[in-house]
Amino acid sequence: MDFITLLLFAVGLCFDSFAVSLSCGMSCCACTRRRMFRFAAVLGLCQGLTPLVGWAVATNFRTVIEAYDHWIAFVLLLFLGGKMIWESFGEEDEAHLKGNPFAWGRNVMLGVATSIDALVAGIAMALLPLTIVPSESQLLNMLAAVFIIALVTLVSSLTGLYLGRRSRGKLGERAELIGGIILILIGIKVLAEHLSEV
C-alpha cells in the first residue's frame, strides 16, 4: 500500500466519523471551537489507533495466511465497504444526538464506535506491504499510516461539524455511501494487483 492508496483508504475510513460529526454539528447550537476541536481530535485519535491494534494482531499470523493474504484483504475491504453502503440506506441512528455529544464520556464513546471498522481495516493492512515512507520497517510505515489516518479523520470531523452547524441536509448518508465505494475499489485494486503479478 503506497501513500496515495493509504490516503484514499483513510478518506474511505473517515466517512463514519464525518457523518457522526455532521449530525453532532446539527445538534450543536453554542459549542466553542475548543470543544469542537477536542471532539474531532478524539475521533481522529481513535480512528488512527484502532488500525494499529488490528495490524499488530494480524502481523503475528501473517506467515500462516500469507498464501491467501490478498484474498483476505479483498474480502475484508469488500465487507467494510458493503457495510458502509448498506448503512447509508438504513434509517439514521440518532442515539448519539441524545445528551451532549461533546461531553468527554460521550465523545470517547463516539470515537470508539466510529473506529470499530478501522480495527478490521488494520487487519487488512497487515496483509499488504506498506510503502508509505522510504523504509523497510513495516512498523515505521504503519506508524506513518496511523498519523495520516488520524489527521484525515481530524480534518474530516472538523469539516463535518462545521457543515452540520450550517446545514440540515442528508449529507451524512451520502458520505457513508461514498466511503463504502472507496473501500470496495481499494479492495478490487489490491486483488487486481496481486492477480496481475501471478
Q: What is the pLDDT of residues 52-68, one digit of tens each?
A: 999 998 887 766 666 67
C-alpha to C-alpha distances, 32 to 37, 38, 56, 89, 91, nearest whole angstrom: 9, 10, 37, 32, 30
- Three-state DSSP at 56 gives helix
Task: Residue 159: count other Cβ atoms within 10 Å of its Cβ.
Answer: 16
Residues 127 and 130: their CA atoms lie apart, in Å, by 9
Considering only 3-7, 30-34, 49-53, 145-149, which range has the smallest mean pLDDT?
30-34
Identify the DSSP state of 31.
Answer: -
Q: What is the mean pLDDT of residues 59-83?
A: 74
This prediction has a pTM of 0.76
Q: What is the pLDDT of residues 91-139, one digit of tens each?
A: 555 444 455 777 888 888 888 888 888 888 888 888 888 889 888 898 9
Q: What is the pLDDT of residues 148-194, one digit of tens each?
A: 999 999 999 999 888 887 765 555 556 667 767 877 887 787 778 77
Residue among 2, 20, 3, 5 at smallest CA distance from 153: 20
Length of the chain in residues, anyone? 198
- Residue 23 is which amino acid? S
